[in-house]
Chain A
C-alpha cells in the first residue's frame, strides 16, 4: 500500500519561512516525479509546483516563483517545500502527491495546514 504522509504545517507571520516535509512509502520514491498542490480556504486546488527524479527539473506556479523551493532526498524517500517570504494568501492546506509527469496526481498525502497571519 502506498502511503504519503505530510508534516510541518504551522502558523507563521507574514514575511516568515516554513518548511513542509512529505515521506512516501510503498513505491520506489526515486522513480517518481513529485508535486505540491494547495487549497486555500473557500478556493479550488492550485498546483504549486513539481520536481523530477534527480532534481534537475523544477516547475513553479507564478504565484510562488522565487519564494518557494521544492527539493527532495531520495535516500530518505522525502519531498520538501521550503516557503519563504510568506504572505497571507499562502494560507492553505498543502498536499504532496506523486506526479504522473505532465498529467494527473496518483497518490496524495492528507495535507498540512499552513496559516500565515500576524
Chain B
C-alpha cells in the first residue's frame, strides 16, 4: 500500500499569508495525486488533480506542484474561507489518502 504522509499536521496562519502544505508518498505515484479541502460537516471539495491541475471553479490562489514522491499544495493570500483541513490522495495504485493538514487561524 502506498502511504501518504502530510506535513505539518497543523499550520497556524493569518488571512493574507501564504500556506505551503506537503504530501510525501512512500513510493513514486508519478503525477497521480489529488488535493481536497474539507470543512467539518461539509462535503470534501476537489481542488487539484493530476498533481497540478485545478479542478473546475477552484480559484487560482490554489496551486499544486511536484511529481514522484514529493508534492506541495500552495495557497497564496489566504482568505477566511480557506481555513479548513486539506488532504492528498494518490491513485497510482488503488487509492489511498493522507491524514490531512489543518490550516487554522
**A residues with CB within 8 A of B:** 4, 43-47, 95, 97, 100, 102-111
Contacts and interface: CB of A to CB of B under 8 A. Distances in A.
A44 B99 contact: yes
Specify which of A43, A104, A108 lies most central, judged by the most chain B CB atoms within 10 Å of its CB: A104
Contacts of B82: none
A111 B100 contact: no
B45 A103 contact: no
B55 interface: yes
Nearest to B89: A104
Specify which of B36, B49, B94, B95 lies most central, judged by the most chain A CB atoms within 10 Å of its CB: B95
B45 A108 contact: yes
Given A102-B91, A104-B91, A45 B43 contact: no
Interface string B18-36: 0000000000000010101
Given A45-B87, A45-B97, A103 B32 contact: yes
A106 B96 contact: no
